[in-house]
Each structure stands twice: as structure tokens, then as C-alpha cells.
Chain A
Amino acid sequence: MRREGSAFAGLGVVMLKELSDHLSGIRMIVLEWLIVLMALGVVYTGIQQIREVSAEDPFLFLRLFTRAGEGLPSFVSVLSFLVPLVAIGIGFDLVNSERNQRTLSRILAQPIYRDALLFGKFLAALLTMTIILVALWLMVIGLGILTLGLPPGVEEVARAGAMLLVTIFYAGVWVALALLFSIIFRSAATAALAALGLWLFLTILWPLLSPYIAALFVSDTVSTPSDLLSHLSVLQAFARVSPGALFGEIVGVLLDPTVRSTQQPLLASLGLALVQPGSIPGAPLPLMQSLEVVWPQTVAMIASAILLFVIGYVIFQRQEVRA
């Protein structure tokens, strides 16, 4: 049985209304200041470090994103930690607030499908995240130009732009998750608590737990280099359950052209270097090859955002309208 009309009738109207709610809400102002102040703070301290240490770095500008000040996290780590928080802050009450305000059945009695309502809400939340992240990104670049006194190169801008895009996908995963929770839980407080709980588990507990779980699946004896690499692969596979780990792997490669594999940082922490046949250790990779290295991770991240949205969509379609 085919439905009449477009599933997206009213999509733009819903999106604009939601966007204006997000941008004018007090909650958004708090979240924006939180992320902007923290991110600019760590970038500023990072710059002090860059000035002291590096004189001849060909990718000096990218260090803005990855170099941390004394005892502080880097800009990228701050994003990895705070983007989920802001996304949850935007998304945890998208659908259940319509139920609790008793507006859902009234809006759905207008000539639109549920698809338009849900998709419009998702797009508006993602667009809000994009606005925040683009503004932040421009501020960091601007701060860099002012304090370092030199303009970024084309490749640096391209790599930083790719990082921005990946950060938006990363935000998409968390917006979709928050939206899903706002569909499942009728109470906004429960949805927020569940989403924050999952966020804390995935960002703090899971990185500590996953090596132990991975250890159950690999043999203890590592005799050949290929044993070691497969050991690391299992370790990574478990760590990647957390979207933060995927994000870290991707930006680690994008922002440092000398990184040739997502396993390289793990090897370095064991005091080993990755030597690929025919390559000069420490030589920078061209941008396209860096992108190729992280392409699977990026696709996995986009796919998990879509999957979470689809699960929410199916549940929402099957829910009864009445409160």
C-alpha cells in the first residue's frame, strides 16, 4: 500500500522551527560557552608550547589542534570529550518533550508525515552542532594566525577541514543516539541520564576495560611481528566500540602526516616503530593517502550514525501517538 504525497512535506518548516529553538534557547548558550571556553583555553596554552618547542615543523599549524599545554588535554581531546556532551544536551528531549508538552498529536494531525518531524529534528540538531563547530574551528585558525604570525598552508587547511568534517560526523553519531533515547524514554530526565551514563561509560570506562576484554580473545605469546599486529588489531576492534576511539584514530592520522597507520601510535607506546617496505620512516604522507588510511573508520562512523537514526525512526513509527 503506497502512501500519498511526499514523506518530506513540512521537513523544512520543522527544521527551521527547531533550529530557531536551538539557537535562541538558554541551554544552547550555556553549552556553546562551555565548549568554546574550554577549547580556546587549551589551544591558547598549546600555542605557548608550540612557540617554545618547534622551529622547523612543516605542519606547524596542525599542532594547534593536537599539541597540549602542560598537564592539559589537546584541542582534539577536548572535542572528543565535549562534542558528545553538547550533542546529548541538544538531543535528549527532542521527541519526549513533544509528548510531555502534549504537542505531538496536534502537530501530527497536520498534513505531514512522522518522517518529516523526526528527520527535521535530527537535521536541525546536526546543523546546530555544525554551526558551533565551524565557528570554533574558525576561531582556532584565527587565534593561530594571530599568535603564530604565519598563515596556514593549503594542505594544512585541507587537513584541518577534513578534521572538521569528521568532527561533524562524530557529532552526528551522538545526536542520533540522543534522539534515539528521546524516543525510547518518555521522561526527558531519564533520557538525559541514560545518554550521559552511556557517554561516561564509553569515554571513561570503556578505554580502561576494553584491553582486558580483548585479552580474552588473543594468545599471550607474541613471537613474530605479525602476531603483535594481529594482537593490536583485536585490541583496536574492541576499543572502537566507543565512537571516541574511532574519532581519535581518524584525527590522529589526519592531523599528523607522519602517521601511516592507525596502529602506529599504539606501537610507539610500546617503543616500536612501524616500518613499511619502500617507505621512509617519518616522511609525511600526502593528504589523499592519509584519507585512504582513515576511510574505513570514517565510513564506520557515518554508518553508526545512520544506524542509530534508523533504529529510532522504526521505533518512532511504531509508537502510539497518544500520551
Chain B
Amino acid sequence: MNADTMNADTVIEAKGLTKTYGEAVAVDHISFTVGRGEIFGLLGPNGAGKTTTILMLLGLTEISSGEVSVLGFNPAREPLSVKRRVGYMPDAVGFYDGLTAAENLRYTARLIGFDRSEREKRIADALDRVGLGDVAQKRVRTFSRGMRQRLGLAEILMKGAQIAILDEPTTGLDPHATSELLAIIRGFKAEGVSVLLSSHLLDRVQSVCDRVALFNGGRIALMGTVPELGREVLGAGYVVDIEADGAGLAERLTLIPGVSGVERTGIGKLRLHADRDVRPEAAVEVVAMQGRLKYLGVQEPSLDAIYTRYFATKAEEAANAKEGARHAA
């Protein structure tokens, strides 16, 4: 596989990627692609195979079977070409405590092979971008967890990477630090850098990911955009909440095309189930009845809900299958 045969907009392509440790299967025939400038989330519980997948993409662990191409390079055979173009921030990234932030980046820059003048400019720019310009000459020993994570992102910026691979970037951060970090990650996307990030914290990550893959037991259980997954798992798509007065409003709303049901959730509160977003029509109806509209909102499917529902269903199916087997016997 080389750059010519790959789609120009695909930066990572994995086909049937598998990693086994003896008998144990850590990653089981997974396939996915990441496009240029896309933020792709690998989500799932700890031990689901996310980090192993990432290490295989970087050529840091051997691939048992399957194919993978990163920017047209094979990580197993051309690891240096891959690692020159891909930035990686490991889970709980570490730096040399005795060195300053700038010295830590300088060491990495030397390993990459930047020459002196370019090195210093890139380091200063990167530290400014992540808001660590003021503490560039402070030893990393004094840094908080959030500052270390930002320094990790600065390293990727300095490298000028085309792909940023971030393993659990927000774990262990307070909400404020998390927001700052996610803002920097969105900044990557704005510059056309593709981002592959892994996390077990679903709802924080939902807000930045274009597409996600839900991992379970070394396999990709679900993949797609969050609304797509919502429809697939949670069923007929949209739930619209309305708070308004007006007699007979519920009956009027039932007549809107696409609405499959209306239920009362409180005094003056209604919930519509529909196969599309019916907010505009619902607003028109309320106004037409001269009702007073206090609230109108559509529920975004949440990854948490999707995840919980999906694995609950799986567990049920497994239990049923067992039951069936017992009856058959």
C-alpha cells in the first residue's frame, strides 16, 4: 500500500488489524479510516484495546495480522517516516522533571532533527499556543497535570505533525483544564491536522469528535457520527420537549407529519417522538393556537445513553441465547 492507492483524504486506514498476546486477543480484526482534518474518537472502557491499536499505528508494537497505512506508510516497515509525521501524546504523558519545559521540547526537537534556529522558533511558538509561554523556563517538576498535558500538545504542535494521536488526553483533569485542552484539540482540526483520540470519558469527548468508534473487548462495536449511532441504537431518532399552554395543543401536535407520538410529562409539558427534527412545525402550531411558548428543545442523543443501551442490549441477547440453549438441551 502506498500513497497513490490511498484516497487522498484518508490519513489512517486500518484493515483487519489484530494483536494477540499468546492466546489472549487484545485487538480483534478492527477496520477503520480517519480522514484529513477529522477528529476521530476511539471510545470504550479500559482494556478494550484502544492503546494497543494506537501503538500499532505508531509501529511501537508488532502487528499480529492485518494491514495498516498511516499517511501512506506502513508503520511496521517504515516506522521512522510515520513517527516523523505523527505526533503522539501517551496516556498520562511524562516529561523529564529536572528539565524546563523548553529544554524538554528541545530534546525532542533534536531527536526529530530540526536545526538550531528552526528549533527555537518552533518551541517558542508551540509553548505560546498552549499558553505555557510564561513558564517555558520553569522546571516541569512544578507543573500540574493539566500543564503537562498541554506541554504534550505543544510537543505535537512543535513537531508540525499531520496527525495527532492522543491517548486519554482528558483523564484526571479538572473541568476547566479539560475545556482548555479540548479547545486546543479543536485548534488542531482548524489547521487541517487529523486527530485520533482515545477516551473512556464519553460525554466530554462527544463534544469534539466528528466520528467515534466504540470499542468493546478488542472489537469495534459501533462506528459513525454521534447522531447516527443514536438513531441506530436508541431507535426512532428525535425527541422534542415543549413547554407551552393552550387547550388541545397535544392533539394539534399529533397531526404534524413525522410525529409518531405525544406524551404529557408534566403540567403544560409535552414530549414529541418524531423521525426528524420537528421543532419549526411545533413552534408554528403553538403560535397558531396563540399559546405561550416557554421552552422548545430537541434532545441530542448522548454517547453515554448510546453506550449504556448498546451494552445492556448485548448482555440481554447473550442471556437470551444462553436461555435458548438450555431449553434446546
Residues of A within 8 A of B (CB): 1-5, 9-10, 13-14, 17, 21, 101-103, 105-113, 320-322
Q: Would B84 and A103 count as touching, CB distance under 8 A?
A: no
Interface residue SS majority, chain A: loop
Alpha-carbon distance A17/B110, docked complex (angstroms): 10
Q: Would A13 and B80 count as touching, CB distance under 8 A?
A: no
Given contacts A9-B80, A102-B93, contact A107 B111 (CB under 8 A): yes
Q: Would A321 and B110 count as touching, CB distance under 8 A?
A: no
B186 in the interface (beta carbon within 8 A): no
Closest Cβ of chain A to B160, distance in Å, is: 13
A10 surroundings in chain B (CB, below 8 A): 110-111, 113
Closest Cβ of chain B to A315, distance in Å, is: 16
B51 in the interface (beta carbon within 8 A): yes
What are 19 residue pairs bridging A and B, where the CB atoms are less than 8 Å apart in the complex? A1-B77, A4-B77, A4-B78, A101-B95, A101-B97, A102-B92, A105-B55, A105-B60, A105-B88, A106-B89, A106-B95, A108-B60, A109-B87, A109-B88, A111-B79, A320-B61, A321-B60, A321-B61, A322-B90
A4 surroundings in chain B (CB, below 8 A): 77-81
Alpha-carbon distance A10/B96, docked complex (angstroms): 18
- What's the tally of chain B residues with a CB closer than 8 Å to chain A? 34
Q: Would B88 and A111 count as touching, CB distance under 8 A?
A: no
Partner of B80, one of A14, A102, A103, A111: A111
Q: Would A106 and B90 count as touching, CB distance under 8 A?
A: yes
B60 surroundings in chain A (CB, below 8 A): 105, 108-109, 321
* In the A-B complex, the 3 residue pairs with the closest CB atoms: A102-B94, A109-B88, A110-B111
B97 surroundings in chain A (CB, below 8 A): 101
Closest Cβ of chain A to B22, distance in Å, is: 13
The residue in chain B whose Cβ has the minimal distance to the Cβ of A322 is B51
Partner of A101, one of B89, B94, B107, B108: B94
Most chain B CB neighbours (cut-off 10 Å) among A1, A2, A111: A111
Alpha-carbon distance A263/B91, docked complex (angstroms): 58
Q: Which of B48-80 contact A (CB under 8 A)?
A: 51, 55, 58, 60-61, 76-80
Alpha-carbon distance A103/B88, docked complex (angstroms): 12
B92 surroundings in chain A (CB, below 8 A): 102
Closest Cβ of chain B to A101, distance in Å, is: 4
B129 in the interface (beta carbon within 8 A): no
Alpha-carbon distance A150/B77, docked complex (angstroms): 63
B61 surroundings in chain A (CB, below 8 A): 320-322
Closest Cβ of chain B to A18, distance in Å, is: 10
Closest Cβ of chain A to B290, distance in Å, is: 64
Q: Would B112 and A17 count as touching, CB distance under 8 A?
A: no
Closest Cβ of chain B to A252, distance in Å, is: 42
Q: Would B55 and A321 count as touching, CB distance under 8 A?
A: yes
Q: Interface readout for B147-182 with A: 1 if CB under 8 Å, 0 if not? A: 000001001000000000000000000000000000
Q: Would B107 and A13 count as touching, CB distance under 8 A?
A: yes
Alpha-carbon distance A112/B92, docked complex (angstroms): 22
A106 surroundings in chain B (CB, below 8 A): 88-90, 93-95, 108, 152, 155
Q: Would A109 and B77 count as touching, CB distance under 8 A?
A: no
Q: Which of B197-240 contact A (CB under 8 A)?
A: none
